[in-house]
Structure 1
Amino acid sequence: MSGSESSSFFSPQLLCNVGFRLSETARQNPHGVAIAVPKGRDAKGRRKYDQLTFRELDDDTNRIAAGLHAMGVRPGTKLVLMVPPSIDFVALVFALFKAGVVQVLIDPGMGRANLIRCLAESQPEGFVGIPLAQALRVLLRGRFPQAKYNVTVGRRWFWGGKTLAQLKALNAPFTPPNIQAQDPAAIIFTTGSTGPPKGVLYSHGNFNRQADEIRDFYHIQPGEVALPAFPLFALFNCAMGVTTIFPEMDPTRPANVDPRNIIEAVNDWQVDQSFGSPALWNVVGRYCEQHHIQLPSVTRVLSAGAPVPPHVLERVKNIIHPEGDVHTPYGATEALPVASIAASEVLRETRQRSATGAGTCVGRRFPGIEWKVIAIDDGPLTEMSQVRELAASEIGELIVTGPVVTSEYVTRTDCNPLHKIRDGARLWHRMGDVGYLEPSPTGEPRGERFWFCGRKAHRVTTPTATLFTIQCEAIFNQHPRIYRSALVGVGAAGKQRPVIIAEPWPEHRPQSRADEAQLIAELKALAQASNYTQQIETFFIHNSLPVDIRHNAKIFREQLAIWAAKRLQ
């Protein structure tokens, strides 16, 4: 089919290719706004936006997919995509899906060394990226010997390949390739918060089921308007017939967002839903509270990447529509979504238990997920016969299976035996999280809830006990001067010294050594008052805990353990 025919073409058989969910949206709502991005201001200071309809976006993606095919790209070709959030970003993602390309998606905020290593490990056959990305490819050409299919988004300089504009100008006929649900669609890298980033292989079936689970669980309807502060979430919007409004922000630094840009976009477009990290909503919620600002059009906020503090949930729930709610989907790059809980449930019930060390309740599982809690094991578990399932309320590690669970790592493949358990034709993924299942009060299986107690790799083992981060940190996070804290262990496993490193709210940072000593004394008193923390006797104050680059929320406890060890020398 040609680009101009795309919106009238639809075959149900194509829907196993996640890219053609956009084509179905374009067929049903051709003139609806698919994407809008900020574009300066008019003479009166009002924000202007570039926009594309679903039909225009679908036509664009077909032209790009046809151009890629004309270049020699075939289904299964691995191409790195390095384009910032924009209309081009969304168009390219769907074009690559439609062409059957395995797209390599890497968060540029992970740092230069990690980025280059991840790119090289993925062994790409080409780059689709902005000039800076292409310059990096040329500069490090020895790391990418197979990269021959290259497309520059913007001005091409001294390197070869075509520009995106040239690709579209070919206007070649597009014949959709035969793609099956199990065929690879993307390689997405983990944040590396508990080790080197790993490349996770996603199939078209994984993406399709993710879109279905998220749409159905949260009752998302075509025609809604969403503002994603995490670019990849925009892809679900187009697959669900939802308008995407990109805010003006650096998505690699959500904690540094200017809240006024979020508020402005929400009001300009009467946004129904927004997705962002806890760090972003902490900033936006505090700003709205301080300036008495409401966002009445918003009925659904999603926040993920790390446990969302109750104070963030409460602030955000207070500024959105009275009948709206804040939802915290739980999962991982390798398995998403797994479970979800709403702020209304947290604030009504679970926050009180969390504050006294029960862990963080992440809610009930999605319909397509099965889960178990098994005995903690730091070694490989390759078959279910090696697994010992625990009784309800016993703390262990969580494993999950279902259509959204990915099958393997394609980089750092040595990690597969540590994370995947074979169960006949099924695979279970070890989440790397520890916690316990709380039975449903009615006995209904989907009524049980998982309480997250921390990462398995972060647990602290002393000669007499095992301490879990989320349980212990909650005790100290109740102090009015403390924003967040981190439990780390210094020394060899089994003989570790537990240490709490606390980050005060900026306005409550100690102003003198005496003030710091007083704050530490108060934290020690809290430790002695809880059975979870009585072993902890060492405390440090830190002005800014290191966090992950994707969500600015996951604390890098490994770095803090090294920092604490040096302080104790």
Structure 2
Amino acid sequence: MTQPLPRPWLTHYEPGVPHDFQPTERTLPQLLEHAAATWPDRVALDFLGATTTYRALLDDARRLASALHKVGVRPGDRVAIMLPNCPQFVTAFYGALLAGAVVVNTSPLYTPSELGHQLTDSGAETLILLDTFYARYEQIRAQVPVKRVLVTGIQDALPFPKNLLYPLKARHEGTWVRVPAAERTLPFSAVIRSQPPAVPGVTRRPGDTALLQYTGGTTGTPKGAMLSHRNLVANAEQARAWMAGLREGQEVTLAAIPFFHVYGMTVAMNLSVLTGATMVLIPNPRDLRMVLDGISRTKATLFPGVPTLYNAINTHPETAAHDLTTIRACISGSAPLLRETARRFRDITNGANLVEGYGLTEASPITHTNPIFGEQQEGSIGLPFPGVDALVVDDHGQPVPHGETGELWVAGPMVMQGYWQRPDETAATLVDAHGRTWLKTGDLATMDDAGYFRIVDRKKDLIIAGGFNIYPREVEEILMTHPAVMEAAAVGVPDEYRGESVHAVVALRPGQTVTDKDLITHCRAQLSAYKVPRSVEFRDELPKTAAMKILRRELAHDARERMKAQRPGA
């Protein structure tokens, strides 16, 4: 019998947010079917001015499902999708699920070797990709189990006359790609047009695996988190329950965060389908002009994103020329939201509610966030979602007193089934205790008496200098308060005396200058001596993942290699 656990956070839920939550036990295709039945003529997708209604989106997904079944895809088969945010991604995702397949999200930034590993590990026999990425697949084609490739291009989704002009533009820029004709290579658009909008006779259950989302998890080894229909639908429904003021059938979501990242998939795509929102698709979130134009042109109301994206908008020279005041709510995920970033974004949007959330791939992904319109605590990831239980525990799995640091564990209907073909990894990450199955996040956190949680840092990012624990986020918060700093990261580098010391990597705002000594002095005024960076490195831009998360590990590796090269006799 599951024992009730204390949930002090419930008293801080906004009015209208349920204290008890149970998922509806629907599958992901049923969300799209419901949207098409409820809002058939509502624009589901807006892609650079081309629009698709929910009725048309469901028809396209059904046509693709029929086509996949015709070429041999069967329930449980893995279908890899390697696309940016474009109409074809949404069609491919729901179409593959309607066919009973398991989607394998694949980053367009993968190198050939990374792509080869994922296709081989997942056993994907079908790949749907953008023509621009075909050359990378071609390099590893003979080493992977893929039997068929469906190829599409950006021009396939553009409105007239952009669809005709795009190839000319691409040829002029040298980016045009001609995919060689082959028996196993099929044109995505023609395949859909050739099929009726009929659904194969397959049974889909809430407990069936819907997605393999590859992640480094808590160990850094790439592996596929198995997320079921129940997991993904429950998390979208939890997000909907949290946003009590959301207007179904009326919202406009700026979908800049990539759908191939589970955060973008849940809060920008699945939540939009669940609530009948229009998705404004941004294929390249690094194109800030496209992001800004998308917000002002469509009067976007919801803007899920990541800290680096909000920070980039804060500092972009064209931001002031765009109207961003229609944005009502933003949940920032994927990486810590620094206080200064949030403050500046609220200022330029005239008070948009930008709140920090928290999650991880293995939880589909959101587990915590600050109230959208209720009590928000700066520097906090907020409260657990409805239906989420959370504990901060010591090394023996026992809850620690409020305010003390320990590892964050979470439980709920959004927690993954396990890692694909990794029983040992699964056993190390999912643990039965206190009457539940818990996901060990690997993150260090605290919980206060009111139930607000704070992430201290990742266990693996911890810097230990002279026996003192240093959390990179604390150093980064101080660096970001300097008016010249646009982006900052703190990493640990070897130190013969202390074991490790703090190395800061920063990118400055355009036109700003500052020295390493200036930044060290700035930190020294606000941090204990052992936390102050001993060295500062300047870069034009910090490296990021496709989801725009700063790559601390890469920065740490580069700094350590540079130190090795500078040693005498190296």
Is 1:461 the counterpart of 2:489? The answer is no
Q: Pairwise CA RMSD of aligned residues?
A: 3.1
Q: 3-state DSSP class of the match of 1:338?
A: strand
Paired position in structure 2 for 1:148: 147
Paired position in structure 1 for 2:166: none
Paired position in structure 2 for 1:42: none
Is 1:277 the counterpart of 2:273? The answer is no
Change (3 A) 1:488 1:561: farther
Change (3 A) 1:206 1:156: farther
C-alpha separation in 2, matches of 1:191 and 1:87:
28
Is 1:33 the counterpart of 2:43? The answer is yes
Q: 3-state DSSP class of the match of 2:95?
A: helix
Q: TM-score, normalised by structure 2?
A: 0.80
Is 1:364 the counterpart of 2:383? The answer is yes
C-alpha separation in 2, matches of 1:477 and 1:333:
27
Q: TM-score, normalised by structure 1?
A: 0.80
Question: Which one-letter code corresponds to 1:148 in the other structure?
Answer: K
Q: Deviations over 1:363-419 (max 9, x none)?
A: 11101111111225xxxxxxxxx5232121111111111111112121666533432
Match of 2:203 among 178, 181, 187: 178
Question: Which one-letter code corresponds to 1:140 in the other structure?
Answer: I
Is 1:206 the counterpart of 2:231? The answer is yes
Paired position in structure 1 for 2:275: 240
Contiguous gaps of at least 5 residues in structure 2: 1-22, 154-178
Q: 3-state DSSP class of the match of 1:487?
A: strand
**Residue 150 of structure 1, CA deviation:** 3.5
Note if contact 1:191-1:549 (Cα within 8 Å) is conserved in structure 2: no
Question: Which one-letter code corresponds to 1:478 in the other structure?
Answer: T
Q: Deviations over 1:519-543 (max 9, x none)?
A: 25514633xx534x43646222332
Paired position in structure 2 for 1:530: 527
Paired position in structure 1 for 2:256: 229
Paired position in structure 2 for 1:189: 214
Match of 1:163 among 153, 172, 187: 187
Note if contact 2:223-2:419 (Cα within 8 Å) is conserved in structure 1: yes
Change (3 A) 1:551 1:157: same
Q: Deviations over 1:176-222 (max 9, x none)?
A: 52111110101112268972433211100011101101112113332
Paired position in structure 2 for 1:5: none
C-alpha separation in 2, matches of 1:238 and 1:30:
12
Length, aligned pairs only: 506
Q: Which residues of 2 match residues 65-80 of structure 1 at below 5 A?
A: 65-80=65-80
Q: 3-state DSSP class of the match of 1:80?
A: strand
**Residue 456 of structure 1, CA deviation:** 0.5
Paired position in structure 1 for 2:172: none
Change (3 A) 1:170 1:474: closer
**Residue 466 of structure 1, CA deviation:** 2.0
**Residue 245 of structure 1, CA deviation:** 1.2
Change (3 A) 1:541 1:130: closer
Note if contact 2:212-2:226 (Cα within 8 Å) is conserved in structure 1: yes
Change (3 A) 1:349 1:221: closer
**Residue 480 of structure 1, CA deviation:** 3.3
Is 1:128 the counterpart of 2:137? The answer is no
Paired position in structure 1 for 2:448: 438
Question: Which one-letter code corresponds to 1:106 in the other structure?
Answer: T
C-alpha separation in 2, matches of 1:493 and 1:207:
47
Paired position in structure 1 for 2:320: 291
Change (3 A) 1:473 1:56: closer
Change (3 A) 1:542 1:417: farther
Q: Which residues of 2 match residues 259-338 of structure 1 at below 5 A?
A: 259=289, 261-287=290-316, 291=320, 293-320=322-349, 322=351, 324-335=352-363, 336-338=365-367
Q: 3-state DSSP class of the match of 1:65?
A: helix
Note if contact 2:62-2:95 (Cα within 8 Å) is conserved in structure 1: yes
Paired position in structure 1 for 2:535: 539
Change (3 A) 1:121 1:548: farther
Is 1:549 the counterpart of 2:552? The answer is no
**Residue 235 of structure 1, CA deviation:** 2.1
Question: Which one-letter code corresponds to 1:329 in the other structure?
Answer: G
Paired position in structure 2 for 1:421: 431
Q: Deviations over 1:482-527 (max 9, x none)?
A: 344433333499962222314152347657xxx44x325514633x
Change (3 A) 1:490 1:505: closer
Note if contact 2:83-2:108 (Cα within 8 Å) is conserved in structure 1: no
Q: 3-state DSSP class of the match of 2:476?
A: helix
Paired position in structure 2 for 1:373: 392
Note if contact 2:44-2:57 (Cα within 8 Å) is conserved in structure 1: yes
Q: 3-state DSSP class of the match of 1:387?
A: coil
Is 1:402 the counterpart of 2:412? The answer is yes
Between stretches 180-189 and 125-134, larger displacement belongs to 125-134
C-alpha separation in 2, matches of 1:83 and 1:537:
40
**Structure number with higher relative contact order (C-alpha < 8 Å, ≥ 6 residues apart):** 2
Change (3 A) 1:417 1:510: farther
Change (3 A) 1:290 1:172: closer
Contiguous gaps of at least 5 residues in structure 1: 1-12, 39-48, 351-359, 377-385, 441-447
Note if contact 1:462-1:493 (Cα within 8 Å) is conserved in structure 2: no
Question: Which one-letter code corresponds to 1:459 in the other structure?
Answer: L
Paired position in structure 2 for 1:10: none
Between stretches 98-107 and 219-228, larger displacement belongs to 219-228
Change (3 A) 1:320 1:525: closer
Note if contact 2:306-2:548 (Cα within 8 Å) is conserved in structure 1: yes
Note if contact 1:395-1:435 (Cα within 8 Å) is conserved in structure 2: yes
Note if contact 2:524-2:532 (Cα within 8 Å) is conserved in structure 1: no
